[in-house]
Structure 1
Amino acid sequence: MLNDREHPHRDRRTRDEDLFRRFLDGLQDEEVRFEAEYHKETTTIDEAVYNVVTLMQTRAGFEGERGH
C-alpha cells in the first residue's frame, strides 16, 4: 500500500517486480534468496513469500532430522 502511494502511476506488473526485489533484498539467508530468485517462478509477492516460508520450513525439518 505504501509503495502504491509512493509511485501512483506504476502498473501492477512493475509494482509486483519492485516488491519482489525489495523482499529478496531483505532476506538474510543467501541460499533461500538464491532459490527464491532463480529456481521458483513467482508472479506475485504473495507467491514469493509462500515459497520462501515453505523452503525455510522444509530446510528446518531436514536439519532437525539430521541432529537426532
Structure 2
Amino acid sequence: MLYDREHPRRDRRTRDKDLVRRFLDGLQDEEVKFEVEYHKEPTTIDEAVYNVVTLMQTRAGFEGERGH
C-alpha cells in the first residue's frame, strides 16, 4: 500500500520488480540473497519471501542435523 501511494502510476510489473529489489537489498545473509536472486529469480515479492524463508529453513535443518 505504501508503495502504491508513493508511485501511483507505475504498472504492476515495475512495482513487483521494485519490491523484490528492495526486499533482496535488505537481506543481511549474503549467501541467501545470492541464491534467491540469481538461482531462483523471483518475479514477485511473494515468491521472493517464500524462497528466502524456505532456503533459510532448509539450511537451518541441515545445520541442526550436523550438530547431532
Classify the TM-score, shorter chain: over 0.9
Poorly superposed stretches of 4+, deviation over 2 Å: none
Q: Which residue of 1 aligns with 2:49?
A: 49
Percent identical residues:
90
Deviation at 1:41, TM superposition (A): 3.0
Runs of at least 5 residues in structure 1 that lack an aligned partner in the other structure: none
Q: Which residue of 2 aligns with 1:67?
A: 67
- Local SS of the residue matching 1:54: helix
Deviation at 1:43, TM superposition (A): 2.0
* Count of equivalent residues: 68
Quote the RMSD (CA, aligned, Å): 0.7
Give the alignment's TM-score, normalised by structure 2: 0.96
Superposed CA offset, 1:13-63 (max 9, x none): 000010000000110000000011000032211011001000000000000
Runs of at least 5 residues in structure 2 that lack an aligned partner in the other structure: none
Aligned amino acid, residue 27 of structure 1: L
Counterparts of 1:1-68 in structure 2, within 5 Å, are: 1-68=1-68
